Structure 1
Amino acid sequence: MRDDPQQRHKQKIIAEVEQRSLTSVMNNTKWNSLEEAIYRELAFAPAFQSKYILDAEPSPLEFEQDVFYLGDWESLSFAWYNIEWVRVKPRLLEHTGKYTAPNVLSIEDEWVNLLQRLRIPYIHKEHDYWIYGYATATEYEQLDY
């Protein structure tokens, strides 16, 4: 029997989920539906910060302010099973000139409608939306659909 690194990685994730008493919130079908809808229905793919089960820190580490870049949702699809949470900013900064403040392009209403239509559980905190792959009991109780 051959040693399968991907299977070994999945087993580590399962062990960590059990050790931390996390509840599975999303599945591959929901993640795939969300990714497809983002690219098909929204004016732009919103930027996100992701936290994987086995990683100590999220990426990117700093994500407090609105950003000038889009989210690469396809980069997440290789390992939906590994995502603890994704923090989404459904806004995009647009350069307007060297000496002027950027415009803020918002798709927040469309984003919330998409989440609700697809029945994607989320938590709205200030201007960000948190989608949990796995949640603590406290986070699970706060989820909106």
Structure 2
Amino acid sequence: MRDNPQQLHKQKVIAEVEQRSLTSVMNNTKWNSLTEAIYCELAFAPAFQSKYILEVEPYPLAFEQDVFYLGDWESLSTAWYNVEWIRVKPRLLEHTGKYTAPNTLTIEAEWVNLLQRLRIPYVKKEQDYWIYGYATATEYEQLEY
């Protein structure tokens, strides 16, 4: 019997994880709990940058500044086994007018409470939160719960 494309992809991910000596941090249950809580409990779904195991670059490539768009957390539900990390901005820029600076909406306190309540391991770097699907030994040691 031939392997289906999804099985072949999972096998490639497993091989890459083993080759790079990465440690699994998250699982399907944790990703699903996080996604559900975001949509049910937070004022908005925070934007994120994602890096997948088999991809060289994260998406979106540029993610240094706060953004005007929401995160598509449902997209992680089918690809959770492939997520190396996500970088989350628990802030949202809100247009206020053509000639005025945008407002920054923040859900940072609620975000941290949610992560801690669900025991989602994370690292805060500057103003962003990193959630690892797989981590190096060094990254794993830095995780908070």
Into which bin does the TM-score normalised by the smaller protein fall? over 0.9
1:82, 1:3 → 2: CA distance?
18
2:123, 2:37 → 1: CA distance?
19
Shift of 1:2: 2.4
List runs of 5+ in structure 2 lacking aligned partners.
none
Superposition map of 1:1-145 within 5 A: 1-145=1-145
1:93, 1:8 → 2: CA distance?
40
SS at match of 1:40: helix
Q: Identity of counterpart residues, as a percentage?
A: 87
1:123, 1:134 → 2: CA distance?
13
Runs of 4 or more, structure 1, over 2 Å off, are none
| Count of aligned positions | 145
2:102, 2:53 → 1: CA distance?
35
SS at match of 2:8: helix
User: Which amino acid counterpart does residue 50 of structure 1 have in structure 2?
Assistant: S
User: Which amino acid counterpart does residue 37 of structure 1 have in structure 2?
Assistant: A
Q: TM-score, normalised by structure 2?
A: 0.99
1:123, 1:3 → 2: CA distance?
37
Q: TM-score, normalised by structure 1?
A: 0.99
2:99, 2:56 → 1: CA distance?
38
Shift of 1:75: 1.1
| Root-mean-square deviation over aligned CA pairs | 0.5
Shift of 1:76: 1.4
